[in-house]
Structure 1
Amino acid sequence: MPDKGSVQSRRIGRRLFWIGGPALLAWPLAVAGWSFAIDQGSIGMALPDIRSGGWEVTGSQADIRPSVTADSDSAIIEFAPSSLIITEYLAYTGAEQPLRFNTLRTDLSNSTVTLDYGASGSWADRIAIDGDIAVSATRVEHPILLPQAWNFEGRAEGRLSELRVQGTLVSDSGFSADLDVQLDPDGGVSVAIESVIDGKQGVRALAGTLSGWPDLLTVDSGNARLRMAVSTGRGGELEASGIADLQDVGGVYNRTAVSGLSGRVRVSLENSQVAGSFRDLAVGEINAGIPVSSVRFSANYNAPMTELLAGTLEVQQARARFLEGTLRVPPAVYELAGGSGRIPVEVEDISLSRLMAVYPAEGLSGSGQLRGRIPLGISGDGVQVSAGTVSAIDPGGRLQLPADKLQAMLGGNQAMDVVVQALQNFHYSVLNSTIDYDEQGKLTLGLRLEGKNPELRGGQPVVLNVNLEEDIPALLTSLQLSGRVNEAVTRRVRELLQESGEETAP
């Protein structure tokens, strides 16, 4: 059993080393050829607050168990299990969106710090870390994140000036991501994040992590592999990029059901410009009341960060199936700046019979096929169409429109009785229509028909010019409440109508 004097001498020696640590680092410059070792000790100390380069660190307390080996060139500090540094508050306020950590616990167990004081250069070049590291925070705050606890477990390796940290980051909501942080000797930082979001549980964890997650977005199936890279240069300039590989994703956004979404989406930010690319994007079906299926889309998009809807769209492929026909945007470059740009949607071989079948009114029927061109405008105010055109393909077809619906659409105008009678059984050879759609959802059709009703005026030729108006949001609401989309959409529409105090019946 060691005597009390021996034990007390070792304790005093450890205290003297840590109290005189700064002096020992300078002493080897004048005295060479020495070395010493100190076995594991237990040290508790308050660390100074730091405010530098946009960083603020306050209330730090170290409770560490180091073993030290030193000579005239370097010192090696090995930390035993339960070596902790606890920081009450850490924040980076050098950016427009500050990052804050509360009660940060850094576990240095089984890690090693090497101080190469015999070398030249800054201390960041002469201090190296190697080993496991675990960090937890009771609360992390940033504008893009929901405040909550986070944990990180991984490994740190390299000199402070070019330190690399790799590991797994987990939020309290269950979101998990692989993290790779690389410091640049010039002062920059590069961060790579990779995560796999799988099914409802993965989406629920992501939604519980991001503050900007849309309330009206739910995902029921599929998975996504997300990869993001963020870097800052010495001058603080920010570059960011992200890739999402989607596989058979299905869900509901607002009142629209989406199924079978697959493909790759890439987004990057550089010099205040946002660039996006969509590669081999495919959607099984998009249904807001009238289904659009077999969507195929490949394109690039570039816009200033401050005006995301005023960019340049380069379409390589954009097509879909609609009412037994096709929708298509011709490959080209479309300038959308100023809200004046238009994306031409070409419609081909649309079935009038199918169109009449989806309309929520009894007694509608028709035959024939339609083609046309609809210039689509997209702005912060919504979607608009101006001077679109649709016409029937030869040889025409047949229309049967119920009198009560027609009179309602025509405003009960008695002067239109002939039109109402003719359209009870109208055989047309010409059907042309102009299409306009405003931001409030009002659709206006300028319809010109040439043909005859065999039961009217002995089947004499008739030319009809009719202006029709339709409230598209109300029409879609009726379709959604009729169960033509899916149960999730119907339920959401009913909830929204109940919140607004409107009727829920179609």
Structure 2
Amino acid sequence: MPLDGSMPWKRWTHLAVLAMFALTAQPVVAAGWSLMVQQGRIGLTLPDIHSGGSVVTGIRADVVTAVDADNRVATVQFKTGSRLQAASIVQSGAESPFQMEDVRVDLRDVTLTVDLNGTAPLPERSSVAGPVVITVGAVQHPALIGQGWRFEGVVNGPLTDLRVEGQVRSDSGLVADLTLRNVPGEFLAARAITQVEGASGSKVMAGTLSDWPPLLELDTGQVRAEASLRVEPDAPLALHGQLDFDGVGGVMNRTAISDLNGRLLIDLEQGLLTAGFRDVTIGQLNSGIGIGPVHILAGYTAPKSDLFGGLLDIQQATAGFLGGRLRVAPGAIDLSRKPWRLPVDVYDVSLARLLQVYPTEGLAGTGVLSGRIPVQISDAGIEVAQGQLAAISPGGLLKLPANRLRAMLGSSQAMSLVVEALQNFHYSVLESTIDYDEKGKLVLDVRLEGENPEVRGGQPVVLNISLEEDIPALLTSLQLSGRVNEVVTERVRERLQQSGEETVP
């Protein structure tokens, strides 16, 4: 509905007062200083209302009333058939155009009371109370999928400080508790609370929000959303929101998400958006290789004119990874300037677990890796230039399959020695640079120092090996293997079938 606090509530409630006085023209039974109208009926077709950027068209009031009045108080009881209607309510504007079509307000059992003794303006001496039902044929807004809505609740208070409380429901099934307070000429305040759960909640949100990601499916947990807004004349919209996540799990594109918990706080005041991620944890993110648990503490600020071009302040971002830990260094990222740089520190990653992930039989090893990977994100994709990983002293053991090594390194005499040494290589030094381009090609330049006790009497060997890997193809293979979940596997198969590629890893 329009956010102008003085319209249309003020106009429509004034119409109800006028309707009451119009009823005095009906047959009455009078006694002394009192009168009663047992059954009054009136229908009014009213001119369009223009107020600021809002327009209400096709307005009609049909009221069936019982009136009881004396020299002190007049009471109007609206009967079945009493309703206000509008063909459309449109709030134009470049920022958030809003439109409601076929609006109907059912007023049956609502009571209007007017104090006839006071000297204050009529709206201050008039109050309403009772149940109210509002149906809207279609709500149109850039953030919403067009559909019908229905509100059932109660209205209470003087016309100068009107309160409405109840529950609103969309055709797609979204249900929210709604509270409105309107003080004409001063402010309009609203508060809404909703909660969705599991797969049914995901379907509801997908049918309500136009920007809901089409490949996002939730299957466990619940999300509770609370928002309040306040509109004042000649002042920007003030909005406060909160999202609480409890055990949320699902799939985003080809990544499985499990056990998401925490809170997102959002404030919009004076044209500035601020957001905060508080106590956010994720049990695991899995696109083929599991990462988790994840812990995030961050803030975000952006001007209303560019909500996605603000400043992301990372205070804490850590994740478990293959027995070790990943950490994004605290700092601020200006999202309006690309590329975004994200230095990722790697601590104590298990080489044994890393080799187990790789879909090739015969890989084995021991040792612990640490280092830093400078991630860069641009419109072209993700890149890494000269990342560094190294094994922590005293080193460990490597056993690599001979057939895989021959395929990678060739079968020359020099390479044969390398292949033989790596069948049981006891290393003291393992160092690697990491380069990754936007097309998904990973290049590892590995330096190894150590020996194979079974080769040349265990003489020291220094090896420099360059390895390449197609990471998207590797992740696709892992996803097809069922290591993520059935939804991801099926999505990968469908994508491969559409592209005409093989579906067997």
| Whole-angstrom distance in 1 between the partners of 2:278 and 2:246 | 13
Deviations 1:60-95 (A, max 9, x none): 332211233557887543212331223222222246
Q: Could you tell which deviates more after superposition, 403-412 or 423-432?
A: 403-412
Structure 1 position 447, deviation (Å): 1.7
- Corresponding residue for 1:268? 267
| Whole-angstrom distance in 2 between the partners of 1:446 and 1:133 | 72
- Corresponding residue for 1:445? 444
- Corresponding residue for 1:333? 331
Deviations 1:20-61 (A, max 9, x none): 84999xxxxxxxx98754333122332322222222222233
Deviations 1:184-221 (A, max 9, x none): 44443222110111222222222211111111111111
Matched AA of 2:458: G
Deviations 1:368-405 (A, max 9, x none): 11111223344555443333211101111122223443
- Corresponding residue for 1:314? 314
Matched AA of 1:192: R
Q: 1:125-136 maps to which residues of 2 (within 5 A)?
A: 127-136=126-135
| Whole-angstrom distance in 2 between the partners of 1:307 and 1:414 | 61
Q: Is the 8 A contact 1:334 1:342 kept in 2?
A: no
Q: Is the 8 A contact 1:197 1:223 kept in 2?
A: yes
Q: Is the 8 A contact 1:140 1:149 kept in 2?
A: yes
Q: Could you tell which deviates more after superposition, 73-82 or 348-357?
A: 73-82
Aligned pair 1:374/2:373, yes or no?
yes
| Whole-angstrom distance in 2 between the partners of 1:55 and 1:185 | 15
| Whole-angstrom distance in 1 between the partners of 2:136 and 2:333 | 46
| Whole-angstrom distance in 2 between the partners of 1:417 and 1:189 | 80
- Corresponding residue for 2:293? 294
Structure 1 position 236, deviation (Å): 5.0
Matched AA of 1:498: Q
Instruction: Tell me the TM-score normalised to structure 1 length.
Output: 0.85
Structure 1 position 452, deviation (Å): 2.5
Q: Is the 8 A contact 2:236 2:271 kept in 1?
A: no
- Corresponding residue for 2:493? 494
Q: Is the 8 A contact 2:343 2:375 kept in 1?
A: yes
Q: Is the 8 A contact 2:107 2:133 kept in 1?
A: yes
Q: 1:351-430 maps to which residues of 2 (within 5 A)?
A: 351-406=350-405, 409=408, 418-430=417-429
- Corresponding residue for 2:5? none
Q: Is the 8 A contact 1:282 1:296 kept in 2?
A: yes
Structure 2, unmatched stretches of 5+, are 1-17, 26-31
Q: Is the 8 A contact 1:55 1:94 kept in 2?
A: no
Q: 1:76-225 maps to which residues of 2 (within 5 A)?
A: 76-94=75-93, 96-114=95-113, 119-120=119-120, 127-225=126-224
Q: Is the 8 A contact 1:366 1:398 kept in 2?
A: yes
Instruction: Tell me the TM-score normalised to structure 2 length.
Output: 0.85
| Whole-angstrom distance in 2 between the partners of 1:310 and 1:467 | 40
- Corresponding residue for 1:241? 240
- Corresponding residue for 2:7? none
Matched AA of 1:333: G
Structure 1 position 283, deviation (Å): 1.9
**CA 1:480–1:39: 2 relative to 1, 3 Å:** same
Structure 1 position 285, deviation (Å): 1.8
| Whole-angstrom distance in 2 between the partners of 1:411 and 1:334 | 46
The residue matched to 2:58 in structure 1 has which SS? strand
Structure 1 position 109, deviation (Å): 1.1
Deviations 1:404-448 (A, max 9, x none): 434555699998555444433322111111223333323222222
Deviations 1:255-295 (A, max 9, x none): 11111111212222334433222222222222111112322
Matched AA of 1:64: V
- Corresponding residue for 1:27? none
The residue matched to 2:484 in structure 1 has which SS? coil
Matched AA of 1:335: I
**CA 1:369–1:442: 2 relative to 1, 3 Å:** same
The residue matched to 1:339 in structure 2 has which SS? coil
**CA 1:376–1:113: 2 relative to 1, 3 Å:** farther
| Whole-angstrom distance in 2 between the partners of 1:234 and 1:379 | 42
Q: Is the 8 A contact 2:23 2:40 kept in 1?
A: no
Q: Is the 8 A contact 2:496 2:502 kept in 1?
A: yes
Structure 1 position 475, deviation (Å): 0.9
The residue matched to 1:40 in structure 2 has which SS? strand
- Corresponding residue for 2:432? 433
| Whole-angstrom distance in 2 between the partners of 1:307 and 1:423 | 53
Q: Could you tell which deviates more after superposition, 289-298 or 434-443?
A: 434-443
| Whole-angstrom distance in 2 between the partners of 1:105 and 1:344 | 56
Q: Is the 8 A contact 1:368 1:392 kept in 2?
A: yes
- The number of aligned residues is 479
Matched AA of 2:314: E
Q: Is the 8 A contact 1:163 1:183 kept in 2?
A: yes
Q: Could you tell which deviates more after superposition, 225-234 or 356-365?
A: 225-234
Q: Is the 8 A contact 2:340 2:378 kept in 1?
A: no
The residue matched to 1:362 in structure 2 has which SS? coil
**CA 1:329–1:112: 2 relative to 1, 3 Å:** same
